[in-house]
């Protein structure tokens, strides 16, 4: 059976910055065809739950900076969590991941712009970018049908 890396919060695990989860109903076709491998890169990177929200404030020429709403640089935590998620994906032979949209870790396409004004901009979260650069396809929770087409 194929294995699918999944954001833990999408599976109902309360690990988000606000101490909650964001469970999504997973179609039987998905759960019948994949073993789900839960990950929360932020927690795996050493951040507590709950925690202040964070956003990517700088992304240029291979550099990235993630800061929380209190002004604390949490880039190291995000990078460490991303590396651990990649290790888990590789160890389990995951070729795809289902990750939380809009997350500074997991989003594969749009993230908040670093101003803490809830403004979205194009870009990938830290973990999603690392997974993609290692040939792991990243899907958000609104793209489950697209993920199923990969079966």
- Asked if residue 4 has pLDDT above 90, the reply is yes
Q: Each residue of 97-112: pLDDT tens digit?
A: 999 999 999 999 999 9
Q: Each residue of 56-72: pLDDT tens digit?
A: 998 887 789 999 999 99
pLDDT of residue 38: 98
pLDDT of residue 40: 98
- Among all chains, which residue has been given the structure tokens 């599976």? 11
pLDDT of residue 61: 77
SS (H, E, C) the chain: CEEEEEEHHHHCCCCCCCCCCCCCCCCHHHHHHEEEEEECHHHHCCCCCCCCCEEEEEEECCEEEEEECCCCECHHHHHHHHHHHHHHHHHCCCCEEEECCECCCCCEEEEECCCCCCCEEEEECHHHHHHHHCCCEEEEHHHHHHHHCCC
Count of other CB atoms within 10 angstroms of residue 77: 23
Query: 30-34, 37-41, 72-76, 82-86 — which is least confidently predicted?
Result: 30-34
pLDDT of residue 90: 98
pLDDT of residue 1: 86
User: What average pLDDT is seen over the chain?
Assistant: 95
Tell me phi and psi for residue 56, to 5 degrees.
Answer: -75, 120
pLDDT of residue 110: 94
pLDDT of residue 59: 80
């Amino acid at each position: 059976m194929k294995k699918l890396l999944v954001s833990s919060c999408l599976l109902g695990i309360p690990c988000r910055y606000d101490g909650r989860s964001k469970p999504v109903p997973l179609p039987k076709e998905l759960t019948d065809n994949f073993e789900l491998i839960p990950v929360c890169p932020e927690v795996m990177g050493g951040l507590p739950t709950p925690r202040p929200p964070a956003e990517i404030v700088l992304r240029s020429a291979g550099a990235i900076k993630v800061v929380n709403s209190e002004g604390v640089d949490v880039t190291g935590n995000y990078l460490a969590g991303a590396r651990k998620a990649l290790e888990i994906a590789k160890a389990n032979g995951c070729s795809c991941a289902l990750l939380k949209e809009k997350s500074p870790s997991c989003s594969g396409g749009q993230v908040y712009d670093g101003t803490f004004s809830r403004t979205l901009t194009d870009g990938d979260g830290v973990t999603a970018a690392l997974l993609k650069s290692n040939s792991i396809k990243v899907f958000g929770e609104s793209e489950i049908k697209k993920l199923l087409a990969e079966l």
